Amino acid sequence: MKGMVYIMSDTIAAISTAVGEAGIGIVRLSGKDSIEIANKIFKGSKVEELKKAENRKLTYGHIFDPENKEIIDEVLIAYMKEPYTYTRENMVEIYCHGGIISVRKILEIVLENGARLAEPGEFTKRAFLNGRLDLAQSEAVIDLIRAKTDKSFQVSLNQLEGNLSKKIREIRGILLEMLAHINASIDFSEEDDIDDIAYGQLEEKARIVRDEIERLLKTADRGKILRDGLNTVILGKPNVGKSSLLNSILRENRAIVTDIPGTTRDIIEEYVNIDGIPLKIIDTAGIRTTDDIVEKIGVDRAIDMVEKADLIIVVFDISSELTEEDFEIIEIVKNKNAIVLLNKSDLPRKYERDYFEQLLPGKKIINTSILKGIGIDVLEEEIKNIFYSGGVNIESDIVVTNMRHKNQLVKAKKNIEDGLEGIQAYVPLDCLEVDIKACWENLGEISGDTVSEDILDKIFSDFCIGK
C-alpha cells in the first residue's frame, strides 16, 4: 500500500484556506514536482526564481500566467523540501490576497502547469501513507479543525500527538507477547506442568489487555460528546417557553418568541459552549395535535429528534393546568435522559413540584422563569453534572472520541473476553491463538497498522479539500 505508484508520482494542489472574504488565502502544493511547477509561475523581486530561494523561507514576488505573461497576484511564497514537510513530499505554499478570485486563479494556473486537484484529505492521506502520521493521528487532524470548544480541541491535540496510538501499541505489544508465548508453548505441549505455567501467564496478560481496553471504552461516551456535541432537544407543548429557553442559553434572540401557541414550526439547531462542553441544542415545534400541515410536520420532526437525543430538556408551564398534551409528553420522556423545567414560575402556580416528582420519578426538576432569567444557571450546572459524572478526567486521560475507534475497541474487547474464557477452560493453545490474533488485528485498525484501502478511502473522504 505504501508504495502505490500513482500516489507518489503526481503533484496535487488545493486552496487550503476557507472560501470567502479574508486578508489572505493560501494555495498549497504537494508532490515531487511542486517546486518545479511553482517555479514556472513565479517571478520574485529580490530572488528571481523560486528554486533559488532558501528552503522554508518566504519570498516576495508575483504569480503570473507563463502563457501570456499576465500577472495574477502579488504574493509571498515558500517551498519546503522533502522529507521534513507535512506530507513528507516537496511542498509549496502560496500566500495571496484573500477572497475568492485570487486563490481560484492561482489554483487554475497551478493546475494548468502540471498539478492535479487534490481530493478531500489527500494532503493528510499522503502524510499517513508516507509514515508521517498514523491513522488515529490523521483522524485527529480533522477533529482539530472541527473542534467546537477548547476541550474538544485539547482532546484532539492529545490524539494528534500520538497518545492514543501509543496506548494501542502498548496493548498490542502485550498481545504479541501472548502470541509468542502460545507458539513457544505449543512446541512443548507434551509436558503438563509447562502448560499450567503457560495458562497462568496468559491469563494474567489477557486480564491486563481486557482492563486497558475497558478503560479506553469508558471514555468513549464523553469523547463522542466532545467531538459531536451533546445532542440536546427542548421539548414541550406550545407556548411553554421553549424558544425563550433556546435564546436564553444562546444569549441571543435566535428564535422567534411570541405569546401565540405554535410560533415555532420547524427545528432550530445551534451550538453553544457550556464551560467547554459543546451543546448542540435543538428547539422544536410545540407538541400538539394540529390541522396545520406545516406545523404537523414540525411536530413529527420534534418526536423524531427525541429518539436521537442524548438529553431532553422538557418544559412545562407551571402557571396553567396540565393538559392532555403535557401528559403525552410525560409519556414520551418517561424512560429518557431528561431534565424537567417548570417554567413561568414568576406567575401564580397551578401545581407544585412534588406533584411532578410523582409523575416523572427520578428526574431532575428545576423551577425556572426564563422570562426573568431565573433557574438557567441551575440547568447549566445540571448539564455539566451529567457530562462529568463517571469521573473521566478529560484533562489528562486519553479520550476515545471517534466512533470508528470505539467500534474497533468493542470488537477487540469481545476477542479478549473470548480468549480469557478459553484460557480459563484450558482450551488447546492453538485455539486461543485465533482470538488473541483477532484482538491484535482489530486494535491495529485504530492506529492503522493493519487497515484496508476501503477504510482509508472512507476516512479521508470525510476531510475537507486542502487538508
Ligand X SMILES: Nc1nc2c(ncn2[C@@H]2O[C@H](COP(=O)(O)OP(=O)(O)OP(=O)(O)O)[C@@H](O)[C@H]2O)c(=O)[nH]1
Site for ligand X, rule CB under 6 A: 236, 238-244, 257-259, 261-264, 285-286, 343-344, 346-347, 369-371
* Partner whose footprint covers residue 236, from Mg ion, ligand X, none (CB < 5 to 8 Å by kind): ligand X
In whole angstroms, the minimum distance from the beta carbon of 358 to ligand X comes to 23
* Partner whose footprint covers residue 261, from ligand X, Mg ion, none (CB < 5 to 8 Å by kind): ligand X
In whole angstroms, the minimum distance from the beta carbon of 349 to ligand X comes to 12
Q: Rounded CA gap, 131 and 339, in Å? A: 47
Residues in a beta bridge with 170: none
Which CB, 40 or 301, lies closer to Mg ion? 301
Residue 405 neighbours by CB distance under 10 Å: 24
* Partner whose footprint covers residue 156, from Mg ion, ligand X, none (CB < 5 to 8 Å by kind): none
Stretch that binds Mg ion, among 49-57, 243-251, 337-345, 442-450 (CB under 5 A): 243-251
* Partner whose footprint covers residue 238, from Mg ion, ligand X, none (CB < 5 to 8 Å by kind): ligand X
Which CB, 324 or 430, lies closer to ligand X? 324
Q: All 3 cell numbers of residue 232?
A: 440536546
Which CB, 39 or 284, lies closer to ligand X? 284
Which CB, 106 or 233, lies closer to Mg ion? 233
Stretch that binds Mg ion, among 59-67, 128-136, 262-270, 311-319 (CB under 5 A): 262-270
**Closest residue to ligand X: CB criterion:** 286
In whole angstroms, the minimum distance from the beta carbon of 239 to Mg ion comes to 8
Q: All 3 cell numbers of residue 126?
A: 499522503
Q: Rounded CA gap, 240 and 414, in Å? A: 47
Which CB, 167 or 242, lies closer to Mg ion? 242
Which CB, 141 or 257, lies closer to ligand X? 257
In whole angstroms, the minimum distance from the beta carbon of 301 to Mg ion comes to 13
Taking CB under 5 A as the criterion, the residue among 11, 59, 264, 368 binding Mg ion is 264
Residue 144 makes CB contacts below 8 A (sequence gap 6+) with 153, 156, 157, 160
* Partner whose footprint covers residue 343, from ligand X, Mg ion, none (CB < 5 to 8 Å by kind): ligand X
Q: All 3 cell numbers of residue 130?
A: 508516507
Stretch that binds Mg ion, among 49-57, 66-74, 181-189, 236-244 (CB under 5 A): 236-244
Q: How many residues bind Mg ion (CB under 5 A)?
A: 4
Which CB, 267 or 427, lies closer to ligand X? 267
Stretch that binds Mg ion, among 88-96, 187-195, 256-264, 436-444 (CB under 5 A): 256-264
Residue 138 neighbours by CB distance under 10 Å: 24
Which CB, 17 or 263, lies closer to ligand X? 263
Task: Tell me whether residue 200 is exposed, middle or buried, using C-beta atoms within 10 angstroms of its C-beta: 0 to 12, 13 to 18, 19 or more.
Answer: exposed
* Partner whose footprint covers residue 61, from ligand X, Mg ion, none (CB < 5 to 8 Å by kind): none
Stretch that binds Mg ion, among 162-170, 203-211, 235-243, 369-377 (CB under 5 A): 235-243
In whole angstroms, the minimum distance from the beta carbon of 297 to ligand X comes to 14
In whole angstroms, the minimum distance from the beta carbon of 295 to ligand X comes to 9
Q: Which of 146, 143, 168, 165 is nearest to 156 (CA)?
A: 143
CB 221 within 8 A of CB 406: no
Taking CB under 5 A as the criterion, the residue among 149, 243, 343, 415 binding Mg ion is 243
Which CB, 343 or 447, lies closer to ligand X? 343
Footprint of Mg ion (CB under 5 A): 242-243, 263-264
